[in-house]
Amino acid sequence: MCFKKLVFLPLLCILLFQISSCKTAQSIVSISQGIQPLKLGGGSSGMGTLSDQSYMVVYDIKNFKEGVRLAMIEVTDETIQVSPIRISDWGEEGKSSDLESICKIPGTTNEYFIAESGNWEGNLGRIFHIQVDTTTLTAKVLGITKLPLKHINSPGVVGDQYESMACLPYNESERILMFAERGGSEINPRGNINWGIYNLSTHELTCNDAGMEGITVNAPGNWTNEKNKRDITDLHIDTEGGIWAAASEDTGDVGPFYSVIYKLGQLDASNTERPLTVYNEFTNWVPVSGFKIEALSGSPKNINATLSFGTEDEIYGGVWRAISME
Per-residue model confidence (pLDDT) at position 35: 34
Is residue 1 a contact partner of residue 315, using CB atoms and an 8 Å limit? no
Is residue 131 a contact partner of residue 142, using CB atoms and an 8 Å limit? yes
How far apart (Å, rounded) are the C-alpha atoms in residues 219 and 263?
10
pTM of the model as a whole: 0.87
CA triplet 159, 224, 286: central angle to 5 degrees? 95
Q: What is the pLDDT of residues 120-145, one digit of tens each?
A: 999 999 999 999 999 999 999 999 99
Q: What is the DSSP letter of 300?
A: P
Per-residue model confidence (pLDDT) at position 41: 59
Per-residue model confidence (pLDDT) at position 8: 43
Per-residue model confidence (pLDDT) at position 73: 95
The residue among 239 and 8 whose pLDDT is bigger is 239
Is residue 61 a contact partner of residue 45, using CB atoms and an 8 Å limit? no
Q: Would you list the DSSP string of 241-296?
A: SEEEEEEEEESSTT--EEEEEEEEEEE-TT-TTS-EEE-SS--SEEEEET--EEEE
CA dihedral 56, 61, 64, 68 (to 10 degrees): -50
Per-residue pLDDT band for 238 (boundaries 50, 70, 90) equals: very high
CA dihedral for 127, 150, 184, 205, sign (positive or negative) = negative
Per-residue pLDDT, averaged over 275-287, amounts to 96
How far apart (Å, rounded) are the C-alpha atoms in residues 114 and 123?
17
How far apart (Å, rounded) are the C-alpha atoms in residues 279 and 152?
30
Pick the CATH number of 6-25+39-323 from 1.10.405, 1.10.287, 2.115.10, 2.60.120: 2.115.10
Q: What is the pLDDT of residues 74-107, one digit of tens each?
A: 999 889 999 999 999 999 999 999 999 999 999 9
Q: What is the pLDDT of residues 282-319, one digit of tens each?
A: 999 999 999 999 999 999 998 999 999 999 999 888 99
CA triplet 108, 109, 115: central angle to 5 degrees? 70
